[in-house]
Amino acid sequence: MRLKSTKNSAPSGVTAGSSHSGSAVAHETELLRRIARADRAALTELYHAYHRRLARFLVRLTRRYDVAEEIINDTFWVVWCKAGEFRGDSQPSTWIMGIAYHKARNALRSSERLLLSKSLDTFDPLLTTEGPQRAEELRDWLGHAMVQLPVEQRLAVLLCYELGLSCEEIAGIMGCPTNTVKTRLFHARAKLQRILRESGGLEAASPKTDAARRNGRKGSS
């Protein structure tokens, strides 16, 4: 089964980094019950509600829209087949994102074509540059550094900074304790900073470095 996205489809209460309202959770739970009864219309509605959110995460991760679409379709094939197994122990969003997470993780581990060449187009916590040229330079450095992170740390970083999810939400998606997520993020940030420092990425994008360069040019003129 392959579903197609619609550009104008609006998520039904599904927004990155925000919790579902009770009514949205109830509605999505009902959709899963209908899907378990082989209701294709319910599957289509749920797919359109989540497509934009999943695509944003997966395109950032894979840098390939076609690969992201493949993972999304694989995710909803699992939803179609296993909707009857959803027992409401977590929110539907956590269950669906968890399926997508495992699909993405397995894809990253099994195929070199899914490795990041560039990533984190908007990684604002580290953007301390002056001007768009320096910001673009730092994004390039970050892309190269992200590739060197273990898969679990890379996914945790994207779930946190790309989708804006809390550590508790990420823990539910990853199926691990919240402290494990915090540890992965801590080590990921430390590794990114170390890799950038060793490669010259942080220095190249530092405003202080820019000022020193300008002062050096003035002194030599």
Domain end point (choices 64, 97, 115): 115
Lookup: tokens for 216: 């050096």
Lowest mean pLDDT segment, chosen from 25-29, 71-75, 89-93, 137-141? 137-141
Q: Provide the domain count of the chain.
A: 2
Quick count: other Cβ atoms within 10 Å of Cβ 23?
10
Tens-place pLDDT, residues 105-164: 888 776 544 444 444 444 444 434 444 445 555 556 666 677 788 889 988 988 998 888
At 108, the amino acid letter reads: L
Same domain membership, residue 55 and residue 24? yes
Same domain membership, residue 148 and residue 72? no
**Domain span at 140:** 118-214
Domain end point (choices 115, 136, 165): 115
Residues of the chain by 3-state class (helix, strand, coil), percent to 5: 70, 0, 30
Q: How far apart are CA 27 and CA 29, in angstroms?
A: 5
CA proximity to 45, closest of 67, 17, 13: 13
Q: Is residue 10 part of a domain?
A: no
Same domain membership, residue 127 and residue 199? yes
Compute the average pLDDT of residues 16-33: 79
CB 104 within 8 A of CB 71: yes
Residue 61 has what pLDDT?
Answer: 79
Same domain membership, residue 134 and residue 86? no
Same domain membership, residue 200 and residue 130? yes
Lookup: tokens for 74: 């694989």
Same domain membership, residue 129 and residue 81? no
